[in-house]
Every structure is written in structure tokens, then in C-alpha cells.
């Protein structure tokens, strides 16, 4: 499991989030709400798709595109369970969150 990586507030705009991602040299950002709970993980591809979409404005906030909470995994899950979940959901990265919803790290699939 890697470190949680860059975490940003869900009130951040897409452009600022892309800048943070580039500065951190990361392929993803963990998004958190006002209480510090992880609300999702966004990839550069997802953010670029939103930015390039016809409905995009420079006022679009991450909370508007992050969707529902998840998918996440628990620190108590086995690696096999987490890998199965990632492959089933077709995600390359999965946030690990504690019982309070705070991100502890990110699991990624090997290429």
C-alpha cells in the first residue's frame, strides 16, 4: 500500500486540482469533505474528461463530479479481497479508509 498521496478538498475546482496533481506528480487525487473524510479518488483522465466536456465551466467543483462515496477498502481487508474488488470494479487504485472515513493509503494494481 502506498501513502495516501495528495488529498484535496471537494470544494476545489477542476483546474486547481489538475495543477495540484501535476505538482505532486501523481496520477490521482484523494478527495475529502469538510470533515476530512475521503469521498473518492479522481484520476487525471477523469479530470481531463470533465474539463474537456461541453458542460464544463471554470466553476465546476470536485464535489460535483466525485459521485458517490467509494469504492474504498478497509485496512482489515486482505490483499486478495482488495485485488478482487479492484478487478471486479475495473479500478486501478483503491483508497484504504479507516472506520472514520479518513484515508490511510492507496492500493494500486501492478501493470
Taken in order of first residue, the domains within the chain and their CATH numbers are 7-108 (3.10.580.10)
- Grid cell for residue 59: 466553476
Q: What is the pLDDT of residues 49-80, one digit of tens each?
A: 999 999 899 999 999 886 556 688 999 999 99
Sign of the Cα torsion 75, 7, 52, 64 reads positive
- Sequence-ordered list of residues with C-beta below 8 angstroms from that of 51, at least 6 positions apart, any chain: 14, 15, 18
pTM: 0.81
pLDDT band, very low/low/confident/very high, at 98 (cuts 50, 70, 90): very high
Q: What is the pLDDT of residues 5-37, one digit of tens each?
A: 789 999 999 999 999 999 999 888 999 999 989
Amino acid at each position: 500500500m502506498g501513502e495516501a498521496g495528495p488529498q484535496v478538498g471537494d470544494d476545489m475546482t477542476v483546474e486547481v486540482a489538475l495543477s495540484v496533481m501535476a505538482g505532486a506528480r501523481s496520477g490521482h487525487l484523494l478527495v475529502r469533505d469538510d470533515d476530512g473524510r475521503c469521498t473518492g479518488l479522481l484520476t487525471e483522465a477523469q479530470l481531463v474528461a470533465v474539463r474537456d466536456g461541453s458542460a464544463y465551466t471554470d466553476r465546476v467543483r470536485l464535489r460535483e463530479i466525485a459521485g458517490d462515496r467509494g469504492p474504498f477498502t478497509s485496512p482489515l481487508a486482505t490483499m486478495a479481497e482488495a485485488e478482487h474488488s479492484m478487478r471486479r470494479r475495473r479500478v486501478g487504485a483503491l483508497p484504504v479508509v479507516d472506520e472514520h472515513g479518513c484515508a490511510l493509503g492507496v492500493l494500486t494494481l501492478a501493470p
